[in-house]
Amino acid sequence: MQLTRRDFSRLGALGIAAHLAPGALRAQSNQNAQAGQKKIGYAVIGLGRIAGHFMPGTRNTTNSQITALVSGHRDKADRIAAEYNIPASSIYSYENFDEIAKNPAVDAVYVALPNSMHAEYTIRAAKAGKHVLCEKPMATSVADCEKMIAACKAANVKLMIAYRCHYEPTNLRAVKLIRDGALGQVQAIQSAFGFNISPGEWRLNKQLAGGGPLYDVGIYSLNACRYLTGEEPDQISAYASVIDHDGRFNEVEENVAWTMRFPSGIVASCTTTYGANMDGYFKVYGSKGWLQVDNAFVYQGLHLRAEYSGTKLDEPNPARDPSQFQAEAEHFSHCIQTGQQPQSPGEEGLRDMQYIAEIYRSAGINT
């Protein structure tokens, strides 16, 4: 089965289509480099764990570089600035961040802050005239997502949500196998992702995180079910629980299980937790066979297996961290350079937030 125009427009909405044309974006990005186009300069806001993966990822790109830092810890910022040849004048605090508007070396910001801070810094960056690459989850409420989209539209800047799996080859291979009909009619999907969280994390603070593991890692399963099916769920039901009364889960839930039905009739069943280590995976069952991706949502070690119509696939992906961040940065910079819409725009983050709200409603959790 070939991809139809309708498939492409659906996938486009899900942020996947362009990547099914292998190498297309990279070829374009190389052309831009050859044409001597200036690299897109990023200000990184929040110098925590994920920023520590994103920044090295930009080093391998032809079109992106880190040109400014925003941090509450000047010593940490000075250390990183030295690594990336960033002048002291391009190190900002959260207080003087708005002065970034006057910095011509900054074209875009990468928002890598706790979830509830994404909205404020996206809106401030847009007002400063900078494009925004914002980490997932996009925000902690549907209303904030809508404000972020509106602010970027008003400022005529691009907004992309950092759904790195949309740019990751093994996830894209799974989507293509399904779209090409290898599995026949998809009937059901199972997916899970979770980890055993340490006490004291901001992720356990509802005000900063918005909620528990669903906002943080369950969102990968939710988003994957949408890009694997190419459909939007029309029915959702969910349960949540707290088992460990050890103080970690005073504000957010520990476990969530949810099911979704899609318009074609495909059913999906997902689980997330902060109480156990649960390697991220998805398994898709169709009338002609199945496919499974293990470590589907982590930075390396992804592994696709499938069996359908007499074919057996066993495809470990040798790519290492930070290649996924390289692909993500390359894509957004390319969009900025060419005026193209990002494949995972704000609207994609907004949809997940709407489904998260629905899952919480069904599970009886107040948002």
Candidate residues 43, 112, 257, 270; the one interacting with ligand NAD per rule CB under 6 A: 112
| 202 is a contact residue toward ligand NAD (CB under 6 A) | yes
Residue 102: active-site member: no
CA distance 292 to 307: 9
Q: Tokens for 244, please give them.
A: 């460990």
The residue within the footprint of ligand NAD, chosen from 145, 151, 160, 162 (CB under 6 A), is: 162
For ligand NAD, the binding residue among 39, 124, 164, 166 (CB under 6 A) is 164
Can you tell me the distance from the alpha carbon of 155 to that of 185, in angstroms, rounded to the nearest whole number? 43
**What's the closest the beta carbon of residue 71 comes to ligand NAD, in angstroms?**
7
State which of residues 6, 49, 245, 312 lies at the interface with ligand NAD (CB under 6 A). 49
Span near ligand NAD by CB under 6 A; candidates 10-18, 84-92, 107-115, 174-182: 107-115
Q: In angstroms, rounded to a whole number, what is the distance separating the alpha carbons of residues 136 and 215?
A: 8
Could you give the CA distance from residue 257 to residue 203 in angstroms, rounded to a whole number? 19
Q: Are strands 40-45 and 267-273 parallel, antiparallel or unpaired?
A: unpaired
DSSP, res 20:
G
Q: Could you say which of 15, 41, 57, 114 contacts ligand NAD (CB under 6 A)?
A: 114
CA dist 367 and 364 (Å) reads: 9
What is the token pair recorded at 355? 């489904």
**Which letter, b or e, does each residue of 297-306 get, where b requires 16 or more Cβ atoms within 10 Å of its Cβ?**
bebeebebeb
147 versus 261: smaller Cβ distance to ligand NAD:
147
Q: Is residue 233 a contact residue for ligand NAD (CB under 6 A)? A: no
168 binds ligand NAD (CB under 6 A): no
Is residue 22 close enough to count as binding ligand NAD by CB under 6 A?
Answer: no
- Residues of this chain, 236-295, that bind ligand NAD according to CB under 6 A: none
User: Has 220 been annotated as catalytic?
Assistant: yes
Instruction: Please tell me whether residue 115 binds ligand NAD under the rule CB under 6 A.
Output: yes
DSSP 218: I
- Choosing from 130, 136, 158, 206, the catalytic residue is 136
Binding-site size, ligand NAD (CB under 6 A): 17
What tokens were used for 267?
């059913």
Residue 138: C-alpha distances to residues 106, 159, 210 (Å): 22, 10, 11
Q: Are 202 and 114 in contact (CB under 8 A)?
A: yes
50 binds ligand NAD (CB under 6 A): yes
Catalytic residues: 136, 220
**Contacting positions for ligand NAD (CB under 6 A):** 46-50, 72, 112-115, 135-136, 162, 164, 202, 208, 216
